[in-house]
Chain A
Amino acid sequence: MTGQTPILEVNDISLRFGGVRALSNVTFDVKKGELFSIIGPNGAGKTSLLNCISGRYSPQEGSIKFNGQEVTKMTPNHRAELGMGRTFQNLALFAHMTVLDNIMVGRHHLMKNNFLNGGLYWFGGAQKEELLHRREAEDIIDFLEISHIRKSVAGTLSYGLRKRVELARAVALRPDLLLLDEPMAGMNLEEKEDMARYICDLNEEWGMTVVMIEHDMGVVMDISERVMVLDFGKNIAEGLPDEIMKNDYVKRAYLGVDEDDEAEGEVA
C-alpha cells in the first residue's frame, strides 16, 4: 500500500516570526499512501509546519515539493487545486452554512460553473453540475455518517460533529494529501474511535495520504505508520511508532519518562 515515491518532500525549511524561530531546518518526506503523524509538545511548531505545507505561512528558507512539484511560493487555493486538503485545530467551518453546503464548498475546485451560468442555473448546465456533485457529497456524507444533520446549520452542531463535518469538507476536495490538525482534540473515547476508523478508511480505501498532528498517543501509536517528533521547531526524531516510543530523547522532550525507568536509571 505504501509506495516508495514521496508525495510530500519538505526540505530544510525554516520559519521565523521576527526573532522567534518557529521552525528551524525541518526536513522530512511523506510517502504516497502513508499515514504519517507529527507529535510534539505545545508550541513545538507542529501547526506552523502544517501551515507552511498548506500555504498559510511561507517559510523563509527551504522548499516544499508536492507530487514532485515545487509549491513553496504557491497560494493556498492553488495548492488545494493540486490536491491538498486540510482541517484546522480550532474549528473553521462556515458557521452559517448548512453541513451540505459546507461540503459542497469543498467541491469548489472540481466544479466549473461560475456567476454567469450559475445565475442562469437551468440554462448553462449549472444545475446538472450541481446535482452531479451533490451525489459525490452524499457519498461522503454516507461514509462519515452525518446524513441526519446534512441540512443543519454548521454553527449549531456539537463539537464532535463539527469536527466530523470539517473532515467531510476536506475529503470533498478529493485530495491526494490530507492534512489533519488535531482531529481528535476534545473528543470522548467513542468519538475518537470513530474518528480513528474514518482516518484509517480514508487512508486505506480512499487512497489518501494522511499527515496528522495529534496529542493522543494511544491513537497515534496505533494507527500511524511513521511518526515525527518536533521540539522547539526542530525535528528531533522520526521513525516507526515503536522506535519513537523507545527513544530517550523523545521521552524527555515530550512523552515523559516512566518512573520505573527513572528508578532503574538511578540504580545504574
Chain B
Amino acid sequence: MAGYNMMRCGEFRTTYEKDTTIFPTPMSKKFAILGVLLCVIAPLQIGEFSFVSDTLLTLMIQIGYLSIGALGLNILVGFTGQISLGHAAFFGFGAFASAWMNNDFSIPVFFSIPLAGVLTMAVGMIFGMPAARIKGLYLAIATLASQFILEDFFARADWFTGGAAGALANPFEIFGFAISGDRSYYYVVLVYMIAMYILAANLMRSRDGRAFIAVRDHYLSAEVMGINLTWYRVLSFGISSFYAGIAGALFAHYLQYVSVESFNLLLSIQFIGMIIIGGLGSVMGSLMGTVFMVLLPEIMQEAASIITSTSWGNIPAITEGINFMKEMVIGAAIVLFLIFEPDGLAHRWRMIKAYWKLYPFSY
C-alpha cells in the first residue's frame, strides 16, 4: 500500500525551516538516501559474488571524482554565469599539488587532498582575476590562456610535477592504515562526493550562493543590491577550482601516478559537456551529466562488440568501420540530446517528477 506520506499532490509546511530543506519533498530525500545506500553496498563482495564487476567499479570511481570536478565547473558556469575553458588545468593542478605535498613534505594523503583543494583555490582565484573585468567569449579566451599556462608549467616545473616523467602518488591512508585496491578507495571517493555535493547544495541556499545566481542573472542589479561583483566573480573561480583540486587529488591517489598529458583542453571541454548535458545551474545535474558522459562511450563500446560478434561481424566494412561509427554515434547522441533536451537531464528529471506527482490523474 502506498502510504499517504509517500507522494503528495500538495505541500503543506508549517515552519520556515521545513521550507528551506535541500530536498523539496520527504520522498525525494528518501530517494537520495536510498541511492546513497545502494552506492554503499555496491562494491561489497560476498565470497565469490559481487554486485558490480571490476570494470563497472572503475567507472563508478571515475564518475565519482569527475562529478566533483563537474560540480565545481557548474558552480562557475551554471550558477555564476562565467565560462571557463581551463577547468582541466585546475583539476591537474590539484592532482600534482596533492602528490607534491605528500612526497616532498610527507603530509599524509588524508590531509594533502583537502590542502590540494585549498592550494588550487588560491591558484584559481589568481587566474580568475580577469573575470572581474571581462565577460562571455572574451573570458573564455582568457581562461584558455590559463589552461595553456598551467599545462606549460606542469611540463617545466620538475620540482612540482616531476616534469615529463610525471609524479608518483602514494595510496590513500588513514591512521597509518593504507587503503589500497579499488573496492576500498571507492569509499574514499564516495565520501568526498557526498560531502562536496552537500556543501554545494547548502551554498546555493545561503547568502553567497544567491549572490552567485544574482550575478549570473543580472549583474547590474546585483551590484545595486549590495553585491560586490569583483569579489563574487573571483570567489566563484576560487570555489570552482577548489572542487577541481579535490577531484584532481582524488584522481591522483587513485591512479597513483600523475602524468602531464592527462590534463589537456579536451578534458576541459568534456567537463563543459558534462554540465551542459546534465543541466547548467543544477547541483544534481552535474552528477547526471557526468554519468552520461562516462557511460555513453562504454555503452557504445558494448554495442559495437555485440554487433561484431553477430553475423554482421563477417562483413569486413563493419568490422573495420565500427570504431569510427562508435565515435560518430557518440557525437550524434550528444547533438540530439542538446536539440531535444537543451535544459539538461536535471530538467527532464523534474518533468518526470511533475508527471508522477499527479499520476494517474494528470489534469
A→B interface (CB under 8 Å) = 54-56, 75-77, 80-81, 85-86, 88, 92-97, 101, 104-109, 111-115, 118-121, 126-127, 129-131, 134-135, 138, 169, 173
Say whether A130 contacts B225, CB under 8 Å: no
Say whether A130 contacts B20, CB under 8 Å: yes
Between A and B, 6 residue pairs with Cβ closer than 8 Å are A76-B224, A97-B214, A104-B210, A105-B225, A119-B202, A126-B206
Q: Which residues of B contact A135 (CB under 8 A)?
A: 16
Name the residue among B17, B200, B235 with the largest chain A CB count within 10 angstroms: B17
**Closest approach, in angstroms, between the C-beta of B29 and any C-beta of chain A?**
15
Say whether A92 contacts B221, CB under 8 Å: yes
Closest to A88 in B: B221
Contact of B222 among A95, A101, A105, A173 (CB under 8 A): A105
Q: Which residues of B contact A55 (CB under 8 A)?
A: 223-224
**Closest approach, in angstroms, between the C-beta of A87 and any C-beta of chain B?**
9
B227 within 8 A of A: yes
Given contacts A119-B199, A135-B16, 19 further A-B contacts (CB under 8 A): A81-B226, A92-B218, A93-B218, A94-B214, A94-B218, A94-B222, A96-B213, A97-B214, A105-B211, A108-B207, A108-B210, A109-B225, A109-B226, A114-B208, A115-B208, A115-B239, A118-B208, A119-B206, A134-B19
**Closest approach, in angstroms, between the C-beta of B143 and any C-beta of chain A?**
21
Q: Which residues of B contact A134 (CB under 8 A)?
A: 16, 19-20
Name the residue among B16, B206, B223 with the largest chain A CB count within 10 angstroms: B206
Say whether B211 contacts A108, CB under 8 Å: yes
Of all A-B residue pairs in the complex, the 9 with the closest CB atoms, nearest first, are A118-B206, A80-B226, A109-B226, A94-B217, A121-B202, A92-B221, A119-B199, A115-B208, A76-B223
Q: How far is the CA of A54 from the CA of B203 in the complex (A)?
A: 29
- Contact code string B206-250 (vs A, CB < 8 Å = 1, else 0): 111111011011101111111111000001000100000000000
Say whether A121 contacts B206, CB under 8 Å: yes
Q: How far is the CA of A94 from the CA of B229 in the complex (A)?
A: 15
Say whether A101 contacts B213, CB under 8 Å: yes
B205 within 8 A of A: yes
Say whether B207 contacts A114, CB under 8 Å: yes
Q: Which residues of B contact A108 (CB under 8 A)?
A: 207, 210-211, 214, 225-227
Chain B 159-190 residues near chain A, CB threshold 8 A:
none
Q: Which residues of B contact A118 (CB under 8 A)?
A: 202-203, 206-209
- Judged by DSSP, the binding face of B is helix
**Closest approach, in angstroms, between the C-beta of B218 and any C-beta of chain A?**
5
B→A interface (CB under 8 Å) = 16-17, 19-20, 199-200, 202-203, 205-211, 213-214, 216-218, 220-229, 235, 239, 281
Contact of B20 among A113, A119, A131 (CB under 8 A): A131
Q: How far is the CA of A135 from the CA of B19 in the complex (A)?
A: 12
Q: How far is the CA of A126 from the CA of B214 in the complex (A)?
A: 19
Q: Which residues of A contact B225 (CB under 8 A)?
A: 77, 80, 105-106, 108-109, 169, 173
- Judged by DSSP, the binding face of A is helix
Q: Which residues of B contact A86 (CB under 8 A)?
A: 224
Contact status of A77 and B229, CB under 8 A, knowing A119-B202, A135-B16: yes
Closest to B212 in A: A115
Name the residue among B19, B206, B224, B227 with the largest chain A CB count within 10 angstroms: B224
Q: How far is the CA of A88 from the CA of B38 in the complex (A)?
A: 50
Say whether A75 contacts B20, CB under 8 Å: no
Contact status of A130 and B205, CB under 8 A, knowing A101-B213, A115-B235: yes
Q: How far is the CA of A77 from the CA of B229 in the complex (A)?
A: 8
Closest to A56 in B: B220
Say whether A130 contacts B206, CB under 8 Å: yes
**Closest approach, in angstroms, between the C-beta of A209 and any C-beta of chain B?**
17
Q: Which residues of A contact B217 (CB under 8 A)?
A: 93-97
**Closest approach, in angstroms, between the C-beta of A235 and any C-beta of chain B?**
24
Q: How far is the CA of A151 from the CA of B16 in the complex (A)?
A: 13
Q: How far is the CA of A106 from the CA of B281 in the complex (A)?
A: 21
Closest to B242 in A: A115
Closest to B204 in A: A118
Contact status of A119 and B17, CB under 8 A, knowing A105-B211, A105-B214: no
Q: Which residues of A contact B207 (CB under 8 A)?
A: 107-108, 111-114, 118, 126, 129-130
Closest to A96 in B: B217
**Closest approach, in angstroms, between the C-beta of B191 and any C-beta of chain A?**
16
Q: Which residues of A contact B17 (CB under 8 A)?
A: 127, 131
Q: Which residues of B contact A120 (CB under 8 A)?
A: 199, 202
Q: Which residues of B contact A169 (CB under 8 A)?
A: 225
Q: How far is the CA of A81 from the CA of B205 in the complex (A)?
A: 22
Contact status of A119 and B203, CB under 8 A, knowing A97-B213, A104-B210, A105-B211: yes
Closest to B236 in A: A115
Contact of B206 among A56, A77, A88, A113 (CB under 8 A): A113
Contact status of A173 and B206, CB under 8 A, knowing A96-B217, A97-B213: no
Say whether B226 contacts A77, CB under 8 Å: yes
Q: Which residues of B contact A115 (CB under 8 A)?
A: 203, 208-209, 235, 239
Contact status of A105 and B227, CB under 8 A, knowing A95-B217, A111-B207: yes
Name the residue among B214, B222, B225, B229 with the largest chain A CB count within 10 angstroms: B225
Say whether A94 contacts B206, CB under 8 Å: no
Q: Which residues of B contact A77 (CB under 8 A)?
A: 223-229
